[in-house]
A and B are shown apart, each in its own frame.
Chain A
């Protein structure tokens, strides 16, 4: 990323349902000095649009109601189609461990399930800057 620009994260969710974790993560990142754009519930297509428009470095994707493998695959395809190469995708939520290798193969490094410390997410983001 360029210069001392503040880190910007687009935080999105796969549904409108229970959003406790989503808000906790947002608050935690902000407290760590990271700029958070609250995208709310968006489809993979909408996420790509918002990420490009907002010029973010990271997409934080909360998946609780949906199937992570299906949604992330679509998201990664669309990012590629738009030729977006420098945005990193981070996952949080209900992510079944058996599909984690599949997700990692799609290029997702940061996967944070319940029980994650907020500082772990912050450290990960900082390490990727």
Chain B
């Protein structure tokens, strides 16, 4: 991108600068230390055109909306489509979450994102829900709960995000849309679904995750049937290149699995979305979003030979990191999350959820959830950061980091591709376990600075949260009783014959290994509970393996 003689002159100036720096360091007796990004990539104190001289503007950077989409997937970015403000909600029963959702929509939230739906494969009356039900997400078990959850919410106007990939819950959402007369062709949303190479009996036929994708490809053109979630892996403390590599690996594995069922890459790829983290290292994170978008475009186009340009686009949701939020001096988390959110916007996120400052202490209150919403709105409306597309693009530093991250991620991908899919999944898990421990040790021995924890700590500040004016949400034990009553009422009021017939029909569908989505919709319309559905499934597949959190039981 630069003329030879200019580069030569820059090189001369660069070495002059370097010796200047050395002299200054010496004069101030500062030890020269090696700078690194959070992920361990080498950092320089200053960047010049020399650092991106191998870069080809047209091939590697280009324009927003043009391959390889380093700078964004659309020509106008946030000017034509603002990112979706999608705070995660999930507390109590469907009633409490519905109320919180409606409140947030009134306050300017634009997307629906609910956690907890169908996470547990048993009924509310089970002993295992005691003291749990409604705290780590909303409790949903029959279609009646979904009806309450969406009460007063126009399903045709919002984009619906299902966290986790419980198939009964997915079927309930579809059933509810049908009941309300919403055209499935216009229904927009995302399911956090991914095909994982786990389980002893992993195969494409009878695999619920593949069923979801196949069903959506045929019936729900505006539904993201896949959401490659590497955000939680990143939140175990793995590096940015690992986050990129794991995401691309799982995306490619999902594509391969579905293609082997006879679908074409261009039927599936346009509706694959990603779920990423936004970590502490601001510059590295901006570069990460650019690098993963470019690498996905290249992978889908070059490796999978996708022809439809929409297939090449990587669209992603960001949930800011929770790993770096502290219980100590909790208000500091507001500042942290703001920086994380800004990186995501400068990186071109399509959708975002900003963690609330009290999440290391309790489930967010109405006030703290509102503050997260306002954080996004202030960035969008006041900071000016979203007016220019990829405003950090062209920075010698950001471009150099983008290149390095892509390269490093490719190295990891190559290492992974040499392993079997089962081993790869284990590899991802192992790297996560190693990373979180290494990180904890670095904090414990003060190597990694955490303000309020190992820097500027204050005596006994956890015990005195009051001094931070933090009001925390209290768990309501009556949620459980209320839900059990609800379930009993639903079972009493449903048509018993229809329910029995539905059980039989579902069992046959599991046994025949047909695509499970249509039968599941029928089953939930008969008001079978998730607990009952799991029992039906167990008759065919045997007991659920509860260790495979993301495999069997989320995707029952």
Q: Which of the 9-residue segments A3-11, A47-55, A83-91, A95-103 touches chain B?
A: A95-103
Chain B 442-483, CB within 8 Å of chain A: the 1/0 string?
011000001011000000001111000000111101000000
Q: A17-B549, A23-B436, A113-B462 are in contact. List 15 more A-B contacts (CB 8 A).
A: A14-B132, A15-B136, A18-B235, A20-B323, A20-B436, A24-B440, A65-B132, A66-B131, A66-B136, A70-B475, A74-B130, A74-B131, A94-B359, A96-B472, A114-B326
B131 and A115 within 8 A (CB): no
B361 and A27 within 8 A (CB): no
A28 and B475 within 8 A (CB): no
* B201 partner residues in chain A, CB cutoff 8 A: none
In the complex, A35 Cα to B81 Cα: how many Å? 55
* B444 partner residues in chain A, CB cutoff 8 A: 117-119
Which A residues lie at the B interface, using CB under 8 A?
Answer: 14-18, 20, 23-24, 27-28, 40-41, 43-45, 64-67, 69-71, 74, 94-98, 100, 113-115, 117-119
B119 close to chain A: CB less than 8 A:
yes
* A43 partner residues in chain B, CB cutoff 8 A: 127-128, 130
B477 and A67 within 8 A (CB): yes
In the complex, A20 Cα to B431 Cα: how many Å? 12
In the complex, A44 Cα to B119 Cα: how many Å? 20
**Which residue of B235, B236, B437 contacts A27 across the interface (Cβ within 8 Å)?**
B437
* A70 partner residues in chain B, CB cutoff 8 A: 130-131, 475, 477
**Which residue of B235, B328, B362 contacts A94 across the interface (Cβ within 8 Å)?**
B362
B132 and A118 within 8 A (CB): no
What is the distance, in angstroms, from B173's C-beta to the closest C-beta of chain A?
A: 21
Specify the chain A residue showing the minimal Cβ separation from B444.
Answer: A117
* A28 partner residues in chain B, CB cutoff 8 A: 437, 440
B360 close to chain A: CB less than 8 A:
yes
How many chain B residues sit at the interface, stated as a range, is 35 or more
B327 close to chain A: CB less than 8 A:
yes
B326 and A115 within 8 A (CB): yes
**Which residue of B361, B432, B474 contacts A97 across the interface (Cβ within 8 Å)?**
B361
**Which residue of B136, B235, B360, B549 contacts A114 across the interface (Cβ within 8 Å)?**
B360
* B440 partner residues in chain A, CB cutoff 8 A: 24, 28, 118
What is the distance, in angstroms, from A95's C-beta to the closest C-beta of chain B?
A: 8
A20 and B361 within 8 A (CB): no
**Which residue of A65, A67, A115 contacts B360 across the interface (Cβ within 8 Å)?**
A115
What is the distance, in angstroms, from A12's C-beta to the closest C-beta of chain B?
A: 13
**Which residue of A14, A24, A96, A114 contacts B131 across the interface (Cβ within 8 Å)?**
A14
Given A20-B235, A65-B136, A119-B444, answer yes or no on A98-B327 (Cβ-Cβ < 8 Å).
no
Given A69-B475, A97-B361, A114-B360, answer yes or no on A24-B132 (Cβ-Cβ < 8 Å).
no
In the complex, A95 Cα to B361 Cα: how many Å? 6
* A45 partner residues in chain B, CB cutoff 8 A: 127
What is the distance, in angstroms, from B362's C-beta to the closest C-beta of chain A?
A: 4
* B437 partner residues in chain A, CB cutoff 8 A: 23-24, 27-28
What is the distance, in angstroms, from B375's C-beta to the closest C-beta of chain A?
A: 21
A66 and B361 within 8 A (CB): no
B135 close to chain A: CB less than 8 A:
yes
A66 and B135 within 8 A (CB): yes
* A64 partner residues in chain B, CB cutoff 8 A: 136
In the complex, A119 Cα to B419 Cα: how many Å? 37
Residue picked from A20, A66, A70, most chain B C-beta under 10 Å: A20
